[in-house]
């Protein structure tokens, strides 16, 4: 177990001061229930890690992607912290090999269950938070999640939101979006443009920016989450 934890710490880029926390994070309730002595399982750490992960990912995407509107950020976060997303990362970290499971879970293939892997991953982040604080947890999240977040962002939006929106509308409906300037506010040196994008008379999204082009990109990014446009 110690050897597995050392390898895990190397991958995470974090060394535990209290290694018992990392052991607890990988201990399933089924294992704890089978022991004669009191062995703490990972459910409480999972509860904490879930909140830590959501805040850390929110902070990362908020500062990393200033052009993506709130709805887009919410969808990105939901995708990367989903059970599927977390279990995929847990497999890359080989968390299944380090999990302590009861006999029943071992027989039923618990080391490969998405739900158990995702829970263990969240518990591990909760343990890092308890051991090193929020900054340490954020550093691990940045290291582990930066790649999946970037991949999710590119696949969902591309690098040019207007082009992505145009291509999807052309492919599905054979038409082009229309952009309308709604307002201009602020002094000359600090203008704020508000734009809306429509298709076939329906409002798809809106955006604001320091230039008309920036506001159109924001509106297009917002529109990519509309039911008429978003990928299924």
For the stretch 99-155, pLDDT in tens is 999 999 999 998 999 999 999 999 999 999 999 999 999 999 999 999 899 888 876
- Between 230 and 27, name the one with better pLDDT: 27
Q: 105, 119, 122, 196: which is the annotated catalytic residue?
A: 122
Counting beta carbons within 10 angstroms of the beta carbon of residue 91, is it exposed (0 to 12), middle (13 to 18) or buried (19 or more)? Answer: middle
Are both 114 and 212 inside the same structural domain?
Answer: no
**pLDDT tier at 44, thresholds 50, 70, 90:** very high
Cα 96–Cα 97–Cα 99 angle in degrees, nearest 5: 65
Concatenated DSSP letters for the chain?
A: -HHHHHHHHHHHT---SSHHHHHHHTB-HHHHHT-SS----SHHHHHHHHHHHHHHHHHHHHHH-TTS-HHHHHHHHHHHTSHHHHHHHHHHTTHHHH-B--HHHHHTTGGG-HHHHHHHHHHHHHHHHHHH-HHHHHHHHHHHHHHHHHHHHHHHH-S-HHHHHHHHHHHHHS---EEEEEEEES-GGG-EEEEEEEETTEEEEEEEESSHHHHHHHHHHHHTTSTTTS--
- Supply the pLDDT for residue 4: 74
**What average pLDDT does the structure give for the chain?**
89
- Supply the pLDDT for residue 37: 85
Domain extent at residue 218: 161-223
Boundary (domain end) residue, out of 157, 187, 209: 157
Are both 108 and 13 inside the same structural domain?
Answer: yes
- What average pLDDT does the segment 57-69 reach? 87
Q: 46, 50, 105, 131: which is the annotated catalytic residue?
A: 50
Are both 34 and 66 inside the same structural domain?
Answer: yes
Lowest mean pLDDT among 20-24, 193-197, 210-214: 210-214
In a domain, 229, yes or no: no
In a domain, 228, yes or no: no
Total domains present in the chain: 2
- What average pLDDT does the segment 166-170 reach? 87
Are both 89 and 137 inside the same structural domain?
Answer: yes
Residue 85 has pLDDT above 80, yes or no: yes
- What average pLDDT does the segment 79-85 reach? 90
- Supply the pLDDT for residue 232: 41
- Supply the pLDDT for residue 153: 80
Are both 147 and 96 inside the same structural domain?
Answer: yes
**CA–CA distance from 90 to each of 28, 37, 49, 93, 203 (Å)?**
15, 28, 14, 5, 40
**pLDDT tier at 229, thresholds 50, 70, 90:** confident
Does residue 50 have an active-site annotation? Answer: yes
How far from the centroid of its chain's Cα atoms is residue 7's Cα?
Answer: 24
Boundary (domain end) residue, out of 157, 177, 209: 157
Residue 200 has pLDDT above 50, yes or no: yes
Does residue 216 have an active-site annotation? Answer: no
Q: What percent of the chain has pLDDT over 90?
A: 57
In a domain, 173, yes or no: yes
Query: What's the pTM value of the predicted model, to 2 decimals?
Result: 0.69
Are both 52 and 119 inside the same structural domain?
Answer: yes
């Amino acid at each position: 177990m110690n050897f597995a934890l050392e390898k895990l710490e190397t991958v995470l880029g974090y060394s535990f001061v209290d290694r018992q926390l990392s052991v607890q994070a990988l201990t399933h309730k089924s294992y704890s229930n089978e022991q004669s002595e009191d062995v703490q399982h990972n459910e409480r750490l999972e509860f904490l890690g879930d909140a830590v992960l959501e805040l850390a990912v929110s902070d990362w995407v908020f500062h990393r992607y200033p052009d993506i509107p709130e709805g887009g950020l919410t969808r990105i976060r939901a995708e990367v912290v989903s059970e599927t997303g977390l279990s995929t990362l847990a497999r890359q970290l080989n968390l299944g090999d380090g999990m302590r499971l009861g006999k029943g879970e071992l027989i039923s293939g618990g080391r490969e269950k998405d739900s158990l892997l995702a829970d263990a991953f969240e518990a591990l982040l909760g343990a890092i938070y308890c051991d090193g604080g929020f900054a340490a947890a954020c550093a691990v999240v940045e290291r582990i999640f930066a790649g999946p977040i970037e991949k999710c962002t590119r696949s969902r939006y591309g690098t040019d939101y207007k082009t992505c929106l145009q291509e999807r509308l052309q492919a599905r409906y054979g038409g082009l979006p229309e952009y309308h300037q709604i307002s201009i506010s602020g002094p000359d040196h600090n203008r704020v443009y508000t734009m809306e994008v429509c298709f076939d008379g329906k409002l798809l999204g809106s955006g604001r920016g320091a230039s008309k082009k920036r506001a159109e990109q924001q509106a297009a990014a917002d529109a990519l989450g509309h039911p008429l446009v978003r990928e299924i």
